[in-house]
């Protein structure tokens, strides 16, 4: 978290990662320029494609995840979009969890439909639903390490075996877990995506995303990676780049062409966050467990969805895949004995002093939101039911405040609910 | 040079013991530092093929390449030879892009050539050939990409977002 990805440069010796706030890079010669564009030479051309500050973020996250490399992009959504655009062509198909972040659900169900890519949604907690959903044209399996917002934990190891057996990449969004709590590649994931905006950055200042490749997947027969590329004079990326073919294609074609690049300043800010990831995550999960335990015992709370609680149906999986803690995002439902649950939810959120009411998770500060009317608002009633999002559900992202202060705030707001 | 290094996996199927013997991190660095003339066996005439891209990179980085190709007369501006046995001067390194079963014969020719080292590219593994070369005092690296290793220790591979597995708080050597 502190050293991987940066060896101090020989000339200046800057200990902090230098911020290369530049769009472009002077070529050494005309030949070098041509070779850079032909992917024959390593180096930077334009910060839409690569940047030396961003490279530190990329190598550091790849190292933490145990991957072969990484590509950082504009946001977590860009990480997911870029991944699927690199794996899929029109007419292809994806099997995805039905309990994803609402924006991911919308992208898969509607934006990809416009591109001719179909998605079958299945229960992330029920492994038996995944294999029957696979079709001849399935090009990716997609799941979150910790489901948003009810904390479903997939059986990563079982999904990894399905991925290997069918030679279909398993893409895992591990935003809620961070590489400190879980390394999906060790359980069989092919590709790991993050919204680095969340716990990796950790301070709610900068938006960014990242895609990590294990380097272990056999892309030799995979059409979009192995077939000749018309945008590089017929180059076959798998033949030429081997285990680095997917990431090279993602960077040199998908991100180059879609422009979803990360700003060097955001990379710099996210790197500052990464340096303290381990100490912050320990505090996040300790606070989260204390809050979840408090809420579960409160008479006005019907149910708490936090996989760190023994009452959660996937608690055993959380212990297996997330032994240091089940993250710091949870949701809970107010008691249905309250006369008007919607009104109580509103009173609760407005009664909080320390929790910030906003659309984000993974800040150093504790956050609260009502998913049905905000983050998951674009979803249909059926999708909300499949995602187990009830009208009275409230999502919390637990920050780094003193535990007693958080419990005091929640107690006081629940009185008003 | 970085002090702390872990051996990068790069999809190698070699066991840790085999990696120590055939992908030794010191051997890799010694070969990269001491070699000037590199024969490239199986060098393609097509500019988008891995062998051609690697050879072009090595030229850019100041190495002299000696193409070995059964039919071509010149690749990347250098005279071609049909086999290593036909090269009339000793080379420092023989870098191989050919199927594993051809390795022992290429090694025998390399020993006669006076080459100091043998390198096989990714996924090309033949222990018989490797052991023969080592028994004759040649340095050996199997199942690695010479371009990636050169870029890894030079700091350029890092720009591509690769996990170089090099960790150091000391300044990188120029």
Per-residue pLDDT of A129-144, as tens digits, reads 999 999 999 999 999 9
Domain presence at residue B27: yes
Q: Is the pLDDT of residue B163 over 70?
A: yes
Q: Is the pLDDT of residue B135 over 50?
A: yes
**B46 to chain A, closest Cα gap in Å:** 10
CATH of the domain at B146: 3.40.50.720
Q: Which chain B residue has the Cα nearest residue A240?
A: B50
Q: Is the pLDDT of residue B11 over 90?
A: no
B5: pLDDT confidence band, cut at 50, 70 and 90? low
CB A395 within 8 A of CB A376: no
The mean of the pLDDT values for chain A is: 95
Domain presence at residue B163: no
Q: Is the pLDDT of residue B3 over 50?
A: no
Domain presence at residue B1: no
Length of chain A: 417
Per-residue pLDDT of A40-83, as tens digits, reads 999 999 999 999 999 999 999 999 999 999 999 999 999 999 99
Report DSSP state, residue B84: G
Domain extent for B70: 22-158
Q: Is the pLDDT of residue A19 over 50?
A: yes
Query: Is there a contact between A58 and B161 if contact means CB atoms under 8 Å apart?
Result: yes
Domains identified in chain A and CATH numbers? 30-273 (3.40.640.10), 277-416 (3.90.1150.10)
User: Which of chain B's residues have a Cβ under 8 Å away from the Cβ of A62?
Assistant: 161-163
- Quote the ipTM score: 0.90
Listed range (A177-186, A286-295, B9-18) with the worst mean pLDDT:
B9-18
**B136 to chain A, closest Cα gap in Å:** 31
B13: pLDDT confidence band, cut at 50, 70 and 90? confident
pLDDT at A380: 78
Distance CA(A178)–CA(A277), nearest Å, equals: 8
CB A143 within 8 A of CB A159: yes
Domain presence at residue B82: yes
CB B95 within 8 A of CB B146: yes
3-class DSSP string for chain A: CCCCCCCCCCCCCCCCCCCCCCCECCCCCHHHHHHHHCCCCCCCCECCCCCHHHHHHHHHHHHHHCCCEEEEECCHHHHHHHHHHHHCCCCCEEEEECCCCHHHHHHHHHHHHHCCCEEEEECCCCHHHHHHHCCCCEEEEEEECCCCCCCCCCCHHHHHHHHHHHCCCEEEECCCCHHHHCCHHHHCCCEEEEECCCCCCCCCCCCCEEEEECCCCCCCCCHHHHCEEHHHCCEEHHHHHHHHHHHHHHHHHHHHHHCCCCCHHHHHHHHHHHHCHHHHHHHHHHHHHHHHHHHHCCCCEEEEECCCCCCCCCHHHHHHHCCCCCCCEEEEEECCCCCCHHHHHHHHHHHCCCCEECCCCCCCCCEEECHHHCCCCCCCHHHHHHCCCCCCEEEEECCCCCHHHHHHHHHHHHHHC
Per-residue pLDDT of A368-410, as tens digits, reads 998 877 877 777 778 878 778 887 899 999 999 999 999 999 9
Scanning A1-20 for CB atoms below 8 A from B yields 3-5, 7-11, 13
Domain presence at residue B127: yes
Length of chain B: 174
Residue B42 sits at the chain A interface (C-beta within 8 Å): no
Scanning A321-360 for CB atoms below 8 A from B yields none
Per-residue pLDDT of A308-349, as tens digits, reads 999 999 999 999 999 999 999 999 999 988 888 878 888 999
B6: pLDDT confidence band, cut at 50, 70 and 90? low
pLDDT at A342: 78
Counts for chain B of helices (H) and strands (E), in that order = 6, 9
Best mutation target among A18, A40, A60 (most B Cβ atoms within 10 Å) is: A40
Nearest neighbour of B160 by CB, restricted to A3, A32, A69 = A69
Domain presence at residue B4: no
pLDDT at B50: 94
Percent with pLDDT over 70 in chain A: 100
pLDDT at B1: 42
Please give the tally of structural domains in chain B: 1
Domain presence at residue B41: yes
Scanning A210-269 for CB atoms below 8 A from B yields 215-216, 232-236, 239-244, 247-248, 251
Q: What angle do CA A132, A212, A169 make, to 5 degrees?
A: 20
Question: What's the whole-model pTM score?
Answer: 0.94
Q: 3-state class of B74 per DSSP?
A: strand
Query: Is there a contact between A59 and B170 if contact means CB atoms under 8 Å apart?
Result: no
Query: Is there a contact between A7 and B2 if contact means CB atoms under 8 Å apart?
Result: yes
Q: What is the mean pLDDT of residues A295-309?
A: 97
Domain presence at residue B8: no
Query: Is there a contact between A55 and B158 if contact means CB atoms under 8 Å apart?
Result: yes
Q: What is the mean pLDDT of residues A192-199?
A: 98
Listed range (A342-346, A350-354, B75-79) with the worst mean pLDDT:
A342-346
A148: pLDDT confidence band, cut at 50, 70 and 90? confident
């Amino acid at each position: 978290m502190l050293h991987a990805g940066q060896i101090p440069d020989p000339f200046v010796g800057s200990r902090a990662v230098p911020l290369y706030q530049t769009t472009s890079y002077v070529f050494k010669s005309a030949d070098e320029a041509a070779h850079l564009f032909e992917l024959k030479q390593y180096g930077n051309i334009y910060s839409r494609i690569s940047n030396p500050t961003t490279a530190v973020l990329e190598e550091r996250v790849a190292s933490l995840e145990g991957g072969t490399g990484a590509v950082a992009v504009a946001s977590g959504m860009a990480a997911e979009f870029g991944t699927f655009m690199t794996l899929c062509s029109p007419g292809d198909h994806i099997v995805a969890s039905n309990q994803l972040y609402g924006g991911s659900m919308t992208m898969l169900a509607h934006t990809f439909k416009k591109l001719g890519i179909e998605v079958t949604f299945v229960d992330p907690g029920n492994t038996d639903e995944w294999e029957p959903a696979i079709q001849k044209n399935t090009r990716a399996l997609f799941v979150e390490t910790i489901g948003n917002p009810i904390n479903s934990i997939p059986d990563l190891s079982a999904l990894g075996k399905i991925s290997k057996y069918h030679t279909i990449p398993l893409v895992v969004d591990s935003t809620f877990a961070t590489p400190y709590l879980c390394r999906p590649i060790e359980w069989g994931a092919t590709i790991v995506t993050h919204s680095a905006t969340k716990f990796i950055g950790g301070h709610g200042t900068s938006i960014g995303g990242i895609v990590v490749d294990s380097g272990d997947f056999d892309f030799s027969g995979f059409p979009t990676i192995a077939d000749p590329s018309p945008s590089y004079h017929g180059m076959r990326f798998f033949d030429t780049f081997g285990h680095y073919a997917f990431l090279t294609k993602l960077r040199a074609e998908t991100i180059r062409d879609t422009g979803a690049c990360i700003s060097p300043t955001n990379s710099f800010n996210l790197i500052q966050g990464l340096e303290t990831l381990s100490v912050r995550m320990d505090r996040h999960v300790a606070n989260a467990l204390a809050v979840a335990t408090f809420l579960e015992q409160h008479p006005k709370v019907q149910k708490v969805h936090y996989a760190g609680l023994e009452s959660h149906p996937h608690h055993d999986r959380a212990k297996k895949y997330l032994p240091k803690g089940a993250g710091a995002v949870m949701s809970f439902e107010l008691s249905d004995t309250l006369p008007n649950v919607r009104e109580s939810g509103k009173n609760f959120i407005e009664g909080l002093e320390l929790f910030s009411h906003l659309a984000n998770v993974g800040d150093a500060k504790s956050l609260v939101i009502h998913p049905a009317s905000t983050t998951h608002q674009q979803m249909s009633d059926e999708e909300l039911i499949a995602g187990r999002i009830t009208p009275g559900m409230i999502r919390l992202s637990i920050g780094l405040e003193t535990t007693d202060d958080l419990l005091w705030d929640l107690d006081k707001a629940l009185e008003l609910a | 040079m970085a002090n702390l290094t872990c051996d990068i996996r790069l999809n190698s199927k070699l066991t840790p013991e085999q990696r120590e013997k055939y992908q030794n991190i010191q051997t890799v660095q010694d070969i990269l530092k001491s070699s000037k003339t590199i024969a490239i066996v199986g060098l393609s005439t097509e500019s988008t093929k891995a062998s051609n891209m690697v050879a072009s990179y090595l030229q850019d980085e100041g190495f002299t390449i000696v193409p070995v190709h059964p039919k071509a007369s010149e690749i990347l501006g250098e005279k071609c030879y049909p086999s290593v046995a036909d090269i009339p001067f000793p080379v420092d390194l023989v870098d191989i892009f050919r199927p594993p079963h051809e390795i022992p014969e290429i090694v025998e020719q390399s020993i006669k050539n006076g080459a100091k080292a043998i390198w096989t590219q990714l996924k090309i593994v033949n222990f018989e050939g490797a052991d023969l070369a080592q028994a004759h005092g040649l340095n050996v690296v199997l199942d690695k990409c010479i371009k990636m290793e050169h870029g890894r220790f030079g700091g350029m591979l890092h720009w591509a977002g690769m996990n170089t597995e090099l960790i150091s708080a000391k300044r990188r050597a120029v």
